[in-house]
């Protein structure tokens, strides 16, 4: 059995960031991830600027930054509304970002093994983490394995028993004329999609749709032609753009149900702790922010002369809820409005007359710059 101070299950944005931070604090960290890097993931690929100073303190220099300062929002049948983003952000692919974070975690001293975790067993003073190849033991475990996993069933998490109607689809496109400083958010019947440029030179188009609407059309091609393209902004983009992928990537059963930030003593980070609706454009930053909170508290606890796991769990849950609960609530309300066509049209007309109100809505789903 191999022993570590901290084991992190999952190597997405939250897991890799936490591994780097905790390793830089001098603690023995193991990160367990199923798949090697680099690889594409279904994601909006817009990173809010609120986390950039924090990443800088970890020695993470983002490549080929695409600075985004403008949001363009439309609903079918209306002209788009453009507004300046209060904080702004960057466009960066998960293909590039995850690989960069992985390299930084390794140079910071974190151990990374590409293994599938099959079970996590909490004990009185430590955890045992089982993979198909090995058994590991640690004082602290962070769960950062994403939106849903077989581990959620073994941990008996409430949300995993409820069916979710959401399907996400993503692909990159060649579209040289797309403005680098703009992120687009455009609705259609049953869903909405985002457009933004990445450091790869391609434009990422990622959309979320209710599966009950999608299944009426049989496949992605028919749904794109008969539903998505009815939004003029999306229709014009898809008519002119050339897909860079062989085929779109998909994820089903995406859940926005409430999740607990601590389960059986495991500190949950990123999407494993809770998902904000993608229309808010804050999911990537929230994952990194949650990792920053967990890493700080874990490092403080492990450095203390009297490690108290229950106190660590209480502190993390309190910090997570303070930073993210309001954002999740506003995000859920916005999604309900935008997916109700009459309300979406009214909201768009109202916000078109008041850019200040639109910026206030954006601020409500974003946090302040992480203090470093």
- The pLDDT tens digits of the residues spanning 163-221 come to 888 999 999 999 999 999 999 999 898 899 999 999 999 999 999 999 989 999 989 99
32-71 confidence digits (pLDDT tens): 999 999 999 999 999 999 999 999 999 998 977 799 999 9
CA atoms within 13 A on the CB side of 367: 25
- Dist CA 191 CA 347 (whole Å): 16
Query: What does the alpha-carbon distance between residue 220 and residue 308 come to, in Å, rounded to a whole number?
Result: 51
Q: Is the pTM of this model over 0.85?
A: yes
Q: Give me the phi and psi of 338, to 5 degrees please.
A: -70, -20
Here the tokens at position 217 are 């059309």
Distance CA 21, CA 103 (A): 13
Q: Which secondary-structure segment (H or E) carries 80? A: none
Q: Identify the burial level of 249 via C-beta atoms within 10 angstroms of its C-beta, where 0-12 means exposed, 13-18 middle and 19 or more buried.
A: middle
Closest among 104, 102, 133, 124 to 2, alpha carbons compared: 133
Q: What 8-state DSSP symbol labels residue 281?
A: S
Burial of 59 (0-12, 13-18, 19+ CB in 10 A): exposed
Given a contact cutoff of 8 angstroms between Cβ atoms, the answer to whether 138 and 7 are in contact is yes
Residue ranges per structural domain of the chain: 2-163+254-365
Q: Note the pLDDT of residue 247.
A: 95
pLDDT, tens digit (0-9, with 9 covering 90-100), for 297-315: 999 999 988 899 999 999 9
Q: Give, rounded to a whole angstrom, the gap between the first and last alpha carbons of the chain.
A: 36
CB 7, CB 87: distance < 8 Å: no
| Residue 353, pLDDT score | 66
Measured in degrees and rounded to the nearest 5, phi and psi for residue 339 equal -95, 0
The pLDDT score that the predictor gives to residue 299 is 97
Q: How confident is the model at residue 244 (pLDDT cuts 50, 70, 90)?
A: very high
CATH placement of domain 2-163+254-365: 3.50.50.60
The answer to whether 8 touches 142, Cβ cutoff 8 Å, is yes
In DSSP terms, which residues pair with 84 in a beta bridge? 70
Q: Which residues contact 71 (CB under 8 A, 6 or more apart)?
A: 82, 83, 84, 85, 182, 183, 184, 185, 281, 358, 362
State the Cα–Cα distance between residues 139 and 344, nearest whole angstrom: 48
User: Taking 60 as the threshold, does the pLDDT of residue 269 lie above it?
Assistant: yes
- Coil/strand/helix, residue 346: helix
- The Cβ of residue 329 has, within 10 Å, a number of other Cβ atoms equal to 13
């Amino acid at each position: 059995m191999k022993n570590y101070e901290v084991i992190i299950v999952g190597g997405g944005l939250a897991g890799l960031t936490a591994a780097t931070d905790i390793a830089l604090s001098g603690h023995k960290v193991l990160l367990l991830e199923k798949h090697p890097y680099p690889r594409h993931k279904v994601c909006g690929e817009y990173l809010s600027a609120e986390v950039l100073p924090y990443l800088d303190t970890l020695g993470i220099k983002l490549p080929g930054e695409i600075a985004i300062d403008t949001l363009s929002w439309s609903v079918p049948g209306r002209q788009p509304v453009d507004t300046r983003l209060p904080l702004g952000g960057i466009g960066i692919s998960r293909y590039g970002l995850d690989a960069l974070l992985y390299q930084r975690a390794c140079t910071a001293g974190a151990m990374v093994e590409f293994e599938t975790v099959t079970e996590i067993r909490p004990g009185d003073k430590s955890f045992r983490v089982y993979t198909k190849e090995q058994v590991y033991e640690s004082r602290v475990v962070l769960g950062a394995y994403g939106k849903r996993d077989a581990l959620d069933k073994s941990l008996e998490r409430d949300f995993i028993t409820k069916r979710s109607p959401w399907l996400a689809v993503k692909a990159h496109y060649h579209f040289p004329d797309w403005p680098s400083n703009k992120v687009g958010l455009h609705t259609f019947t049953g869903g909405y999609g985002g457009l933004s440029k990445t450091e790869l030179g391609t434009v990422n188009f990622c959309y979320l749709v209710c599966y009950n609407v999608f299944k009426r059309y049989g496949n992605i091609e028919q749904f794109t032609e008969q539903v998505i393209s009815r939004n003029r902004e999306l229709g014009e983009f898809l008519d002119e753009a050339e897909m860079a992928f062989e085929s779109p990537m998909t994820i089903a059963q995406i859940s926005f149900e409430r999740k607990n930030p601590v389960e059986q003593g495991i500190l949950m980070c990123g999407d494993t702790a809770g998902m904000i609706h993608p229309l808010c454009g804050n999911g990537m930053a929230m994952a990194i922010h949650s990792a920053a909170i967990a890493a700080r508290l874990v490092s403080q606890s492990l450095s203390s002369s009297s490690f108290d796991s229950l106190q660590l769990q209480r502190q993390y849950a309190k910090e997570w809820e303070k930073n993210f609960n309001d954002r999740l609530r506003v995000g859920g309300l916005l999604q309900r409005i935008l997916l109700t066509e009459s309300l979406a049209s009214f909201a768009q007309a109202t916000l078109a007359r008041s850019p200040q109100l639109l910026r206030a809505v954006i601020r409500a789903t974003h946090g302040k710059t992480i203090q470093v």
